[in-house]
Amino acid sequence: MNSDENDVTTLSNRKKAGLSYPTLVLAMVIASVLLVNYVETMVIPGVVVIQKYFSTTETIASWITSSFLIVGAAVAPLFGRLGDVYGKRKMFLVVLGFYVVGVGISGFSDSIYTLLFARAIQGVGFAVLPLGIAMVTDVYPKHRVATAQGVISGMVAIGTILGLVVGAYIVQDLGWQYAFHTAFILSIVLIIVVAMVLKKDTLGQKAKMDYAGTALLMAGITLVLMYLTEGPSLGWTTLENFAFLIPGLILIIFFFVFENGRKNPLIELKLLRIRNVFLANMVGIVSGIVMFLAFFAVVYYAQLPAPYGLGLDTISTGLALAPAALVMMAVGPIVGRIMPKVGPKPVILFGSVVIMVGFCMFILNRSTSLDLTIDSAVSFIGVIALIIPIVNMITVSIPQDSTSVGLGMNSMLRNLGGAIGPVLATTIMTSFTVAVIANMGGQPMVVGTLPSSTAFDTIFEVGVVLMMAVFIMGLFINNYVFEKAEQ
């Protein structure tokens, strides 16, 4: 019996057992997404704990999230192209390997800078998402891709719940290091299972990789974000701070000029000429900023001492936000089923309006943990209504041989927005502060500063404005529907 007959027999046996190859691919992608989102969600409420552990500043602590996202933004399209050339399964295993190493080092970090370095290594692992979606797109018919994406998005919510609740218990009771230790063990198990289960791979044509473009983009983004983080302390118009901004902008501009003249660029600029691809990426950037801007602000507000915040501990913060993630888990598959019938345009318009409503609720009423739960639940419904359509717009609008590159580019831009979010939130929090006064020897004295109520109002007002921009962009989407679905 030849190899082709063996493949047919194997697939036939899997189908009889109820395990088609597309189902196996989806299962492995779901497992990877669960793990990554568990760790990354656990990190967000743990930032305050880690900041205190290393006695560092809010500004430096914000890079615990941003370092991961910046690297993830830069390498996602690179590994997308590597997946198209050398095989998506092979690159999927490679990025999981980076994630294992990064998580392992994170748990044993003896300084904040070692942790930031480890988090940057973990950032390579974030490429599992575009590679995984590309694998799912390869094995599912187009009209079922949105449903599969809805299931994956639902699993994102489960990972979020685990990070907020289970991760919070581990961080508070055992220490933040053990959250990384448990993730390290799970990562090893996952990479072994993926290697054993996923056997098929399709290789493309050999092509040169754009490592120089990756380095340029990463350096430029990092310098611009450093300008944002140092603005409140160094000043927005000082020469010291411009020393970050100007070289950063030059590198980013040069990156696009550099990319435009290359045969195998990191970003396929020609894909951006497709209206829906361009709009999906622009919405991706803005939604990434808004999601992490809000998430970072809510976690800090929840854990600030009363009356400046709610004074919640890590576990209580996780429990307050977990119901919102449950709502996201329930809504994801529903959006995935509805989107092919109505198209991406009405779903994105709906999502942007819902997020605006959620942010207005944060501005008007956030005085209890129940308020945070309700406000977050409304906002999360809007978030999931944005994520599924923009990914589907990419997979539907570009040639199949460019799927990984297109998804990688979209992940890069969403991660870029995600990296800006925490830094922007921190910048606003350090720009609007209130003095903390304590009674020292019978005399009131200023003992420090904390973000004021105005800071959090400003954060959510910025979010509303950004969502207005998304709504306007959504009006220009070329809508499409899948009129018939195969049985």
Please report which confidence band the pLDDT of residue 345 belongs to, taking 50, 70 and 90 as the band edges.
very high
Q: Which helix (H) or strand (E) holds 296?
A: helix 275-303
pLDDT tens for 243-272 read: 888 998 898 888 888 777 677 676 677 778
State yes or no: pLDDT of 356 exceeds 90.
yes
Summarize the confidence of residues 103-119 as an average pLDDT: 91
- Residue 410, CA distances (Å) to 266, 413, 438 in order: 12, 5, 49
Torsional class of 20: left (φ above 0), alpha (ψ -120 to 50), beta (otherwise): beta
Using CB atoms within 10 A of its CB, is residue 110 exposed (0-12), middle (13-18) or buried (19+)?
A: exposed
Break the chain down into helix, strand, coil percent, rounded to 5: 80, 5, 15
- Within 10 A of 195 (CB to CB), how many other CB atoms are there? 14
**473 or 314, which is more confident:** 473
Task: Decide: 51 and 58 in contact? Cβ < 8 Å.
Answer: yes
- Tokens 């575009």 -> residue: 130
pLDDT score, position 330: 80
In the block, which residue shows the tokens 């990025």?
Answer: 95
Report whether 399 contacts 75 (CB < 8 A): no
Question: What is the number of other CB atoms lying within 10 angstroms of the CB of residue 301?
Answer: 22
Lowest mean pLDDT of 93-102, 174-183, 468-477, name the range: 174-183
The pLDDT confidence band at residue 26, using thresholds 50, 70 and 90, is confident
218 vs 475: which has the higher pLDDT: 475
Please determine, for residue 486, whether its predicted confidence score (pLDDT) is greater than 50: no
Mean pLDDT along residues 186-191: 90
Q: What pLDDT shows up at residue 6?
A: 45
Could you tell me the two tokens for 456? 């959090």
- Max CA distance (Å), the chain: 91
What is the spatial distance between Cα 42 and Cα 166, in angstroms, rounded to a whole number? 8
Which residue has tokens 């809805």? 150
In degrees and rounded to multiples of 5, residue 450 shows phi and psi of -135, 160
Q: Tell me: cis bond preceding 232? Omega within 30 of 0 counts.
A: no
How far apart are alpha carbons 396 and 375 in whole angstroms?
33
Give CA–CA dist 30/384, Å, rounded: 16
C-alpha–C-alpha distance, residues 151 and 148, integer Å? 5
Which one-letter amino acid corresponds to residue 114? T
The two structure tokens encoding residue 224: 């611009």
The two structure tokens encoding residue 131: 């590679």
Average pLDDT over residues 76-82: 76
Distance CA 407, CA 405 (A): 6
Res. 303 pLDDT band, cuts 50 70 90: confident
384-429 pLDDT per residue, tens: 888 888 878 887 887 766 666 677 677 777 767 776 777 788 788 8
Q: Say how far apart CA 103 and CA 184 lie, in whole Å.
A: 6
> Which residues lie below 8 Å from residue 186, measured CB to CB, with a gap of 6+?
35
Query: Which one is predicted more confidently, 14 or 86?
Result: 86
Enclosing H/E stretch for 449: strand 443-451
Q: What is the mean pLDDT of the chain?
A: 80
Where would I find the H helices in 304-343? 314-342
- Rounded to the nearest 10°, the torsion over CA 20, 26, 28, 34 is -150
pLDDT at 364 > cutoff 80: yes
Task: Tell me the per-residue pLDDT of 45-78, one tens digit each, with 9 for 90 and over.
Answer: 677 788 888 888 777 787 787 788 777 777 777 7
10 Å CB burial of residue 16 (0-12, 13-18, 19+) is exposed
Per-residue pLDDT for 13 more than 50? no
Total length of the chain: 487
Q: How far apart are CA 166 and CA 321, in angstroms?
A: 12
pLDDT(471) > 90: yes
pLDDT band at 10 (very low <50, low <70, confident <90, very high): very low
Strand partners, 86: none
Rounded to an integer, what distance in angstroms lies between the CA atom of residue 267 and that of residue 402? 11
Work out the end-to-end distance of the chain between its first and last CA atoms, rounded to an integer number of angstroms: 32
C-alpha dihedral sign at 275, 277, 278, 282:
positive
